[in-house]
Chain A
Amino acid sequence: MSQKIIYLDNNATTQCASEVVEAMLPYFSERYGNASSMHTFGGENRKAIDAARTKVAHLINAQYDDEIIFTSCASESDNTAIFSAVRAQRKKKHIITSAVEHPAVMEPFHYLQAQGYRVDFIGVDEKGRFNLDQLRACIDEDTALVSVMWANSETGTIFPIKEIAQIAHEHGAIMHTDAVQAVGKIPVDVQAVGVDMLSLSAHKFHGPKGVGVLYVKRGTRFMPYLMGGHQEKQRRAGTENVPYIVGIGKACELAQKRLTDGSMLKVAALRDRLEKGILAIIPDVKVNGDPEHRVPNTTNISFGYIEGESILMYLNDFGICASSGSACTSGSLEPSHVLRAMKVPFQFAHGSIRFSLSDQTTEDDIKVVLKELPPIIERLRQISPFSRLRA
């Protein structure tokens, strides 16, 4: 493929930064030692892991480095957090999450529901905003866990995690947040919002795939998910993945810089330009989500009367990468559960496209999209029998 790629799918994954790759490389080859070994050759790698741990703790403002547990991915972090919270509080039989979570949270909740747990899925309004009143109404002293995502992957909507954590704690529940789509994009401060557990993933902010973190605040009752080793203070068994841990450390260091040097403001400006451009040129479009509380890189736009997969496949011809909440792209038959929870009308839900930018996105990228997209939409609408519904 020689075609230039215009990558606007950074909520799916990001390019691993060259600095990150460089930092990781020695640990694949010459520094292959096991960090648990008694000899200096292996033991030196312990220092590399600890340095990475400090960088992660710094990015999310954890009070202590040992609150950071390295995992293989955020899905593992989410599963660990959820099963730990219920196993550590055997008598409590109620758990709460939102209706718009990632499957890594949704599926364990459905599993626990089938095991006899009472489960509440807190809804959202038409802008995707979390319903705090509903949370207040259903939480009680039997609630073991409240797990609510920090930012939504599909719409970028940011949830009021501080308020949610406060309500959880008033009832003695453990508060976990899946912050995969927030970390690296907006300031994340675990102490300021007061969460007990937080999941994050390196590959969403220019780190490698295959490494994540579970933050567990000191004093939180915890049961490991993977057993069989003393690693991570017996909280996560398995020989430490040194190169990837070094990689996530470096990625956190770079992310910290981007949050303070104005890079994310530039991303937001480009995102706004793309969004405004589309709204200005193309009729019958609708932005999904809450523009007031949204991560800076994401816009989710519905194109009425046409289907998302078809749009993506035409965009693909121009090297433009995005994603869709349409039923057809997932292999499932229903449109995205997030858009359905927001009650987006069907004529719009099937035609939703998510553009997610990064600091690597350029003005030219946006120009190309604004040039190529309108004819694609027009063409598909000409084929659609529903175009005649348009006013």
Chain B
Amino acid sequence: MWDYTDKVMDHFKHPRNVGSIENADGTGQVGSLVCGDALRLTIKVNKETDVIEDAKFETFGCASAIASSSVLTEMVKGKTIEEASKITNQDIANELGSLPAEKMHCSVMGMEALDAAVKSYRQGGKPVIFEQEAEKIVCHCFNVSEEAIIKAIRTNHLTSVEDVTHFTKAGGACGKCKGEIQKILDKVNSACEVPAAKPKNYNEMTLVEKIKTIESVLEEDIRPKLNLDGGSVELVDLDGKVVKVRLIGMCSGCAGAQGTLKNFIEKVIQEKVSPDLSVEQA
């Protein structure tokens, strides 16, 4: 059971302003059947005062999606386009009391539909489908752009990949983009962080440090890729500048093993640890 506030339940059970305004002055759409939630928002605007006189919604989604849409229509009525365009997803969630963390993306959907409806109005009323305007899509499963992720991080002070998933859905399906989300988080939040200590030069390391550094590169950068093909790699020895490894699982006996060793493992080790190293089969 989700811990929904009474106000969420009230707007879910008794949604306000359901439907579609005929000859609307602005129509914004976001989401799709594939995503599991979608919202179509129509607004009627007084063209002289720019005041939103009416708003209606149609939503496909869970209780919090319906409640977010419903409360949004109440929030925008009576506001000018300028005022309405300042409404954030946090304002929508606050209006509802709160939303469970995993459901914050419902409030984000409300904000996006509103963005699209405002844009539609400004462009003369032609329906606008909310698009992640950016050049770069980070999460391909849910079509979430870098810009949308950055906006969510800044607006809501997000600090973890899990937070970003809760707010934008990015990373919630296949998870392939989680590394990239982490990088965006690091980038956005780095301004307020102390810069990390400069890593030690490989040649100045003790033998134990060298081995640990190589092992951590194997673990973080190499094994996950080999695992995808059902294989893995073990560090067997470090002999001067030669890293000796053993390929295991699907990698052992694979026809492309030598290629994996030289073109992938050695390249990564040279790049991340030291260009002087070479990698050989133990």
Contacts and interface: CB of A to CB of B under 8 A. Distances in A.
B91 interface: no
Given A327-B36, A335-B36, A383-B15, A307 B232 contact: no
Given A328-B61, A383-B66, A385-B58, A116 B33 contact: no
A119 B165 contact: no
Given A113-B230, A332-B172, A384 B60 contact: yes
Contact of B173 (A93, A333, A385, A387): A333
A346 B60 CA distance: 12
B59 A385 contact: yes
Given A310-B12, A334-B172, A382 B62 contact: no
Nearest to B250: A118
Given A93-B249, A333-B165, A350-B36, A307 B173 contact: no
Interface residues of A, number: 33
A305 B33 CA distance: 8
B255 to A, nearest CB: 16
B62 A328 contact: yes
B270 interface: no
B39 A116 contact: no
B63 A313 contact: yes
Contacts of A386: 33, 38, 60
Interface in A153-193: none
A154 to B, nearest CB: 17
Interface in B88-143: 102-103, 141-142
Nearest to A387: B58
A116 B60 contact: no
A114 interface: yes
A116 B40 contact: no
A114 B142 CA distance: 25
A237 to B, nearest CB: 30
A79 B172 CA distance: 26
B165 A307 contact: no
Contact of B172 (A113, A119, A329, A333): A333
B120 to A, nearest CB: 15
A305 B59 CA distance: 10
B223 to A, nearest CB: 8
A192 B72 CA distance: 61
B18 interface: yes
Q: Chain B interface residue count: which class?
A: 35 or more
B65 interface: yes
A383 B61 CA distance: 10
B192 interface: no
Interface in B232-271: 232, 248-251
B155 interface: no
A384 B249 contact: no
B78 interface: no
A328 B249 contact: no
A307 B62 contact: yes
A310 B249 contact: no
A116 B61 contact: no
B58 A116 contact: no
Contacts of A350: 33, 36, 60
B44 interface: no
Contact of A346 (B12, B34, B142): B34
B61 A307 contact: yes
A350 B230 CA distance: 32
Given A332-B172, A333-B172, A385-B58, A114 B38 contact: no
A382 to B, nearest CB: 7
Nearest to B171: A333
A384 B37 CA distance: 10
Contacts of B59: 383-385
A326 B62 CA distance: 9
A305 B32 CA distance: 11
B231 A116 contact: yes
Interface in B35-60: 36-40, 58-60
B232 A116 contact: yes
Interface string A64-98: 00000000000000000000000000000100000
A309 B227 contact: no
Contacts of A29: none
A387 B33 CA distance: 11
A306 B38 CA distance: 10
Given A114-B227, A350-B36, A333 B169 contact: yes
Given A117-B249, A118-B250, A309-B62, A383 B33 contact: no
A37 interface: no
Interface in B157-189: 165, 169, 172-173
Contacts of A305: 33, 60
Contacts of B58: 383-385, 387
A331 interface: yes
Given A307-B61, A328-B61, A118 B165 contact: no
Contacts of A115: 232, 249
A385 B232 contact: no
Nearest to A309: B62
A239 interface: no
A343 to B, nearest CB: 13
**In the A-B complex, the 6 residue pairs with the closest CB atoms:** A116-B249, A333-B172, A328-B62, A385-B58, A309-B62, A116-B232
Given A114-B227, A117-B249, A313-B63, 18 more contacts: A115-B249, A116-B231, A116-B232, A116-B249, A116-B250, A117-B230, A118-B230, A310-B12, A310-B62, A327-B36, A331-B102, A333-B36, A334-B36, A334-B141, A383-B58, A384-B60, A385-B60, A387-B58
7 contacts: A116-B227, A306-B60, A333-B172, A333-B173, A334-B141, A384-B58, A386-B38
